[in-house]
């Protein structure tokens, strides 16, 4: 099956610093990648959708200047949390869609990255 990896799996950073999270599709080309945020005991909330080679589309209420998304290749998307604050502490999950499968409904999820901002 299709595999999506995320790195790092967990990260602790100081308030005011930036942190980058990588999402890779290991055995398929991901034309579209999605970034979700999940607070404790809550559901997954879509933050943004990124298509390879174009700007990400952010959901309402998500600050695009704070959460920088880059999808420069068909196997890699990055989420950079800039000037992180404690309220950005969350579980970030990426997913990827295989552009060649014809199954536009299918998303493959990464294992998630737990971010703690101190």
Partner 1 sequence: AQKVTQAQTEISVVEKEDVTLDCVYETRDTTYYLFWYKQPPSGELVFLIRRNSFDEQNEISGRYSWNFQKSTSSFNFTITASQVVDSAVYFCALTGISGYSTLTFGKGTMLLVSP
Q: Which stretches of the chain bind partner 1, using CB under 8 A?
A: 32, 34, 41-44, 46, 49, 91, 93, 95, 104-107, 109, 111-112, 114
Give 10 or 83: the residue with its C-beta nearer to partner 1: 10
Beta carbon of residue 85, minimum distance to partner 1 (angstroms, whole number): 22
83, 37 in Cβ contact below 8 A? no
By beta-carbon proximity to partner 1, the closer residue of 14 and 41 is: 41
Closest CA to 25 of 94, 113, 114: 94
Give the list of residues 6+ apart from residue 50 with CB closer than 8 angstroms, or none.
Answer: 32, 33, 34, 35, 56, 57, 69, 70, 71, 77
Identity of the residue, 52 or 82, whose beta carbon is nearer to partner 1 in the bound complex: 52
């Amino acid at each position: 099956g299709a595999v999506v990896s995320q790195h790092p799996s967990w990260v602790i950073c100081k308030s005011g610093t930036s942190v980058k999270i990588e999402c890779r599709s290991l055995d398929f080309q991901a034309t579209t990648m999605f970034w979700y945020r999940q607070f404790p005991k809550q559901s997954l909330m879509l933050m943004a959708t990124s298509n390879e080679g174009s700007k990400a589309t952010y959901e309402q209420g998500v600050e695009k200047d704070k959460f920088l998304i880059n999808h420069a290749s068909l196997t890699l998307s990055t989420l950079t949390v800039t000037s992180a604050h404690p309220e950005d502490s969350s579980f970030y999950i990426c997913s990827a869609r295989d552009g060649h499968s014809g199954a536009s409904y299918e998303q493959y999820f990464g294992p998630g990255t737990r971010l703690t901002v101190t």
